[in-house]
Amino acid sequence: MAGLRRRLVKRRIRIRRTRGRRLRRALVVLLALLANLVGAAVVAYHLTKIPEPHPETAMQSTVFVDDHGDYLGRRGPVDRQEIPLSQVPRYVQEAVIAAENRSFRTDTGISPRAIARAAWATVSGGDRQGGSTITQQYVKNALLSPEQTLSRKAREALISIKLDRTRSKDEILQGYLNTVYFGRGAAGIQSAARNYFGVDAKDLTVSQGAALASVINIPSYYEKAGSDPKVTAKLVDRWEWVLDAMAHSGAITSAQRAGARFPAFRFYPPGDTDGQRQYLIDAAASEAADRLGITEDQLARGGYTVRTTFDLTAQDATAELAADGTEKKTGEKTAEEKAAEAKAGGKKPAEVKTTGDVRVHTAVVALVPGDGAVRVLYGGADYASQPFNDARDGAVEAGTALQPFSGMKLLAPLTDLTRTAAPTPLRLASVYATAAAHGVYATPYTVAKITRAGRTLYEAHPRTRTAMTRADAGTVAKLLYDRLDAPLATQTGAAGLRTLWQTTYDEHLTLTVALFAEHPAKGKKAALPAPLPYTAGSRSLSVSEGVWSKIAGTAEGHDPAAEPNPGLPTGQTKPILATR
């Protein structure tokens, strides 16, 4: 036992004597390891390249708006439009920072605590962890794949640090705001502003900006705000939290905070977008691509904003008045048919035999004389069932619709119009618009302006030429005005019972309504012409008067004589609709 004690004592003495040396060795090893890690990190940092945004992120859609800037629709694989940060109000930027990364303006691009938490969750198999900085979110969403691995997390951190060192905070924030997903299919702040509130990002209010910033947290859940009470209530709480943070940081004043009210969201999910508005987008997309010298596919993916000449309010009113429908003959005339016939001839209506289903097609075109801007182009009620545009492409038998121009010498591009048996409603409207403009033909157009990222790429100007003499135009006007002794010139024409035309014009607007009927195709049996119902005359008149009233009523009291129009002959005033 005594020997054992002596050995233990000697061992303790040796341990005490060598402790310092061993600690020094361990420290050297630790420092060497740390140096290697730091060196590896430095090498990795220098070898790391900031990748280009992946193709899905770079894709954009093209948006179409009407003459007033109201949203018509979009084309493209992704609902995203890139805009400069200058078009995002400062308080909207600060709302996003308050909601997602309050240290954004001062941090190094990463959050070490969040990275450690995410790494532990990956190793331990726990739930995915959030809390990344705005820079990290941008790198993850726009520059890297979404896989959840340690190597990808490490690369994300390195790229984020490098991005923060080589790009300004505004550049990073701009990239983030243009790519972050907001729900409702919208990627980026511009598309989100339109999807949730129907405005451009530059027009967002403080309350709207805070609401969009609040949505980013769980976009697939919060996208139902405004239609789901439970979701809305939860979003209101987060919205309040964001506004409080903004007020605390000085991003908004106490008065702005006190006056903030939760904004009204557009209903979601939206209604069917395949209605007749797609006819307008088809026409404008074809023309816009031609003006830019690109394909329609390139246009759809290019992030353009196409401002059309259409008046959406008048177009929607036209759709209500003239929606295509199937009218069925059931062996006896309808009450409307009886009333129309009795009013016309005063005779007792007789019963008719069953003739089967009849589909009445209505095409409506409204043009600005001397300018060519197309305000209404109604080519059908349901694009999904009939993508063919009756107003732009349909050949409708003219009959007596062109009678006022018989014997006149029309110049190009109207030279052969009077010899055309079945012109399109758009072409027929253009000849009456020429008469309204005292013989000046203006090429019809549907695209007023094309922009991208705030830069104007194309702006329309009237393309005019003399297509009939001023005297001939005056003859047509005298004939049509005198015939009705009315303030508007009106011509009604028909091809037997198969078609009915009505064109009304003055110096400011030309409106053409064309009706024709058919027995719809069934199986292998093709569609066949059919006589129009007795109500066609009253229907045509109702559409014409209703659309004319709607368009003229949107002039908002503007005096067309206040501004001359270089596209019109000397002395003629500028068309009402071209002045808005």
Residue 131 has pLDDT above 60, yes or no: no
Q: Which residue has the higher pLDDT, 554 or 476?
A: 476
pLDDT at 323: 72
Q: How large a percentage of the chain has pLDDT more than 90? A: 51
pLDDT range class, residue 267, cuts 50, 70, 90: confident
C-beta of residue 424 within 8 angstroms of C-beta of residue 396: yes
Residue 383, φ and ψ in degrees, nearest 5: -65, -35
pLDDT range class, residue 353, cuts 50, 70, 90: very low
C-beta of residue 305 within 8 angstroms of C-beta of residue 87: no
Residue 369 has pLDDT above 80, yes or no: yes
Q: Give the separation between CA 553 and CA 5, rounded to whole angstroms.
A: 113
What's the mean pLDDT when you consider all of the chain?
A: 81
Q: Which residue has the higher pLDDT, 33 or 252?
A: 252
Tokens linked to 439: 């013989």
pLDDT range class, residue 14, cuts 50, 70, 90: low
Q: Which residue has the higher pLDDT, 339 or 62?
A: 62
pLDDT digits (tens, 9 = 90+) for 421-436: 999 999 999 999 999 9
Q: Which residue has the higher pLDDT, 354 or 183?
A: 183
The length of the chain, given as a count of residues:
580
Please name the residues in contact with 394: beta carbons below 8 A apart, sequence gap of 6 or more.
361, 363, 379, 388, 424, 425, 514
Residue appearing with tokens 């009927």: 517
pLDDT range class, residue 576, cuts 50, 70, 90: very low
Residue 31 has pLDDT above 90, yes or no: no
Residue 579 has pLDDT above 50, yes or no: no
pLDDT at 346: 42
Q: Which residue has the higher pLDDT, 52 or 142?
A: 142
Residue 275 has pLDDT above 70, yes or no: no
Q: Which of 200-214, 377-391, 403-417 has the lowest mean pLDDT?
A: 377-391
pLDDT range class, residue 246, cuts 50, 70, 90: very high
pLDDT at 118: 57
pLDDT at 26: 66
Residue type present at position 242: V
Residue type present at position 286: S
Residue 458 has pLDDT above 50, yes or no: yes
Q: Give the separation between CA 540 and CA 500, rounded to whole angstroms.
A: 8
pLDDT digits (tens, 9 = 90+) for 95-104: 999 999 999 9
Q: Give the separation between CA 384 and CA 407, rounded to whole angstroms.
A: 42
pLDDT at 269: 66
Q: Which of 12-16, 146-150, 346-350, 544-548 has the lowest mean pLDDT?
A: 346-350
